[in-house]
Structure 1
Amino acid sequence: MVKVISVHSFRGGTGKSNLTANLAVLAASQGNRVAIVDTDIQSPGIHVLFGMDEQAIQRSLNDYLWERCTIAEASYDVTPPEIAQSNGSVYLIPSSIKAGEIARILNEGYSVTLLNDGLRNLCKELQLSYLFIDTHPGLNKETLLSVAISDVLVIILRPDRQDFQGTAVTLQVARKLDAPKTVLVINKVLPSYNPEDVKEQISTTFQVPVAGVFPVCEEMIQLASSGIFCLEYPHHPYTDQLRQATAQIIT
């Protein structure tokens, strides 16, 4: 049975794509077949983390939504060597980075039903254990679909008043859509903050479990989306926290 995990944030700049990529890779490191769909069609970017050259993306999620190909034909095997050694697999369905194609989606929209059907077909065709959806920040029809079909909704936020307000709205929507499991991840926490205090405050405020509290990490900033953190720094305390969060999210 495939588990669908949507990673969402109300605002941009929370580190959502980095978190999605690391969670997916760590899930695959346990010998699982994992796929990531970049549904942040307006501002795609998770392909950069996997070192994909934009010129090498011949087919994208956009092409599937325009019925030029099947969704599986828009998938790319981006399995890192370390994960292949563990018998795991990682597939990525990127969104187009071409300005004209982004503009077309914004102008014309797309069929949410077609996207839903594609995600279900992808799970079958690739025989997935986990499907991760990297969503577009905020609330739109794609977000509502992602929440509706997810087994787990991961909401990432920063210790910021605007993020708190947006997260509260997102949780209201998730509850109305009967999301089976929702967890919070708090990112970019300043070193002066006590992680346990932050965790308790957030979980009490929102009445939702917190899967991880991640500090501002200099190595993550220096990496600058040029790789997957848990592979570049396998023994880093930040990676240990990622593993703990992954265990809570995928089980």
Structure 2
Amino acid sequence: MTSADQVRAAVGAVTDPELRRPIGDLDMVREISVDGTTAHVSIVLTIVGCPMAQRIEQDVRDAAASVPDIADVQVDVGVMTPAERRALTEKLRDGRPVRQMPFGPDSLTRVILVSSGKGGVGKSTVTANLAVALAQQGLRVGLVDADVHGFSIPGLLGIAPGTQPTRIDDLMLPPVAHDVKTVSIGMFLREGESVVAWRGPMLHRTVQQFLTDVFFGDLDVLLIDMPPGTGDIAISIGQILPHAEVLVVTTPQQAASEVAIRSGLVARRTGQRVIGVVENMAPYTLPDGTVIDLFGSGGGAEVARVLSEPGEHGAPTEDVPLMASIPLSPALRQGGDSGHPVVLDQPEDAAAQAIIRLADTIAHRGRGLSRRSLPMRLS
């Protein structure tokens, strides 16, 4: 290979931070030449004002400089033409029509809804940390904040206020935080606006757009942070994603566990599969050995037991395990307030350890073929 070929190979391997693909595959690399020890590199970005422009330029500069005998790198940055952007979006869709939901029953992406019967049980905190823990295991993870009225995922992940998805024509690229691609209604509110007062039709359309217009790319897992209860959004997502799996979050308190059972039963009526229960705010142990159980104990196990019983009219159900019991943790709360997930900042914390084990269980557990059609051909 000539020096110019080596530079092109190195630059082409640079990954676009938003699209998560090599810029060479995205046709973003243009002319490359080498004059002595100086490499001249020309690239194009997808849009004017690309939020990742500086990072991409620096990564390109570093990649070119890594080639032997290259001492100086000059980078020229341009922007794609409208025709080039159209060709890029068609390539990204891989033949999928515009506004077609890519997470259908035949998708290889596991869709997991994180639900709760009532608010205040730490569902969103669990969802955010679980997403990060799954990403830490090398999985490609997306996160949809479907709790439109009580959105909190951007803050829990440390996504700066005002951060919006990048638009490439009719595609929206979600911001990436801690290797998790994330979208929330909080990213679309006008400056100074903090309240969403919408009813059923608007809520349905918003969730549908999150699942169709946002380009997540190839994902291993898509987590959806559900609103508490069994209202409009739960019904809408039950219609859009009847094949999804459901993780039910509760606290040990009886009042919370009784309501959590209802959310699992409603999800099951739409055809969704309840894969497990997570008990949050469980008893924790002080350094002197004293056990503090502010919310009692046993609620998570009770939810799992009831959801494992035969369904309506004696219909059989699958075993629903208690997949995690997460103790009360100041570090978990502090991480949520600061936007630094505890599974990253304090992985040795007892709550972080419980969530990391939960992520490991989910990552190594198959999603099952129950209620799924298999491609079969009789000869």
Q: TM-score per shorter chain, which class?
A: 0.7 to 0.9
Matched, 1:203 2:304: yes
Deviation at 1:91, TM superposition (A): 0.8
Give the equivalent residue in structure 2 for 1:246.
Answer: 359
Aligned residues: 230
- Please state whether the residue corresponding to 1:212 is helix, strand or coil: strand
Letter in 1 for 2:218: Q
Matched, 1:139 2:238: no
C-alpha separation in 1, matches of 2:157 and 2:193 = 23
Deviation at 1:59, TM superposition (A): 5.0
Q: Given the superposition, is the C-alpha separation of residues 221 and 111 from structure 1 closer, same or farther in structure 2, using an over 3 Å criterion?
A: closer
- TM-score w.r.t. length of structure 1: 0.78
Deviation at 1:28, TM superposition (A): 1.1
Give the equivalent residue in structure 2 for 1:168.
Answer: 261
Contact 1:6–1:147 (CA under 8 A) maintained in structure 2: no
Deviation at 1:58, TM superposition (A): 3.5
Give the equivalent residue in structure 2 for 1:153.
Answer: 246
- Please state whether the residue corresponding to 2:202 is helix, strand or coil: coil
Give the equivalent residue in structure 1 for 2:182.
Answer: 92
Worse overlay, 11-20 or 202-211: 202-211
Give the equivalent residue in structure 2 for 1:73.
Answer: 172
- Please state whether the residue corresponding to 1:73 is helix, strand or coil: strand
Matched, 1:212 2:324: yes
Q: 1:110 aligns with which of 202, 212, 216?
A: 202
Deviation at 1:154, TM superposition (A): 0.9
Letter in 2 for 1:203: A
Worse overlay, 112-121 or 138-147: 112-121
Give the equivalent residue in structure 1 for 2:87.
Answer: none
Deviation at 1:93, TM superposition (A): 0.6
Q: Given the superposition, is the C-alpha separation of residues 34 and 242 from structure 1 closer, same or farther in structure 2, using an over 3 Å criterion?
A: same
Matched, 1:5 2:108: no
Contact 2:261–2:306 (CA under 8 A) maintained in structure 1: no
Q: 2:128 aligns with which of 21, 31, 47?
A: 21
- Please state whether the residue corresponding to 1:138 is helix, strand or coil: coil
Contact 1:7–1:155 (CA under 8 A) maintained in structure 2: yes
C-alpha separation in 2, matches of 1:223 and 1:115 = 27
Higher helix proportion (structure 1 or 2): 1
C-alpha separation in 2, matches of 1:24 and 1:117 = 21
Deviation at 1:110, TM superposition (A): 1.6
- Please state whether the residue corresponding to 1:41 is helix, strand or coil: coil
- TM-score w.r.t. length of structure 2: 0.54
Q: 1:188 aligns with which of 273, 277, 281?
A: 281
C-alpha separation in 2, matches of 1:201 and 1:180 = 18
Q: 1:36 aligns with which of 118, 133, 143?
A: 143
Larger Rg: 2
Q: Given the superposition, is the C-alpha separation of residues 14 and 199 from structure 1 closer, same or farther in structure 2, using an over 3 Å criterion?
A: closer
Contact 1:155–1:184 (CA under 8 A) maintained in structure 2: yes
Contact 1:159–1:186 (CA under 8 A) maintained in structure 2: yes
C-alpha separation in 2, matches of 1:166 and 1:196 = 16
Structure 1 residues 40-79: Cα deviation after superposition (integer angstroms, max 9, x where no partner): 1112111012222213x2459xxx9xxxx85x5251122x
The higher relative CO (CA closer than 8 Å, separation ≥ 6) is in 1
Deviation at 1:198, TM superposition (A): 5.8
Matched, 1:130 2:242: no
- Please state whether the residue corresponding to 2:113 is helix, strand or coil: strand
Structure 1 residues 174-202: Cα deviation after superposition (integer angstroms, max 9, x where no partner): 22112134311011013345x99665444
Q: Given the superposition, is the C-alpha separation of residues 58 and 6 from structure 1 closer, same or farther in structure 2, using an over 3 Å criterion?
A: same
Moved over 6 A (4+): none
Q: Given the superposition, is the C-alpha separation of residues 39 and 243 from structure 1 closer, same or farther in structure 2, using an over 3 Å criterion?
A: same
C-alpha separation in 2, matches of 1:232 and 1:177 = 38
Letter in 2 for 1:138: G
Contact 2:257–2:300 (CA under 8 A) maintained in structure 1: no
Q: Percent identity?
A: 21
- Please state whether the residue corresponding to 2:114 is helix, strand or coil: strand
Give the equivalent residue in structure 2 for 1:232.
Answer: 345
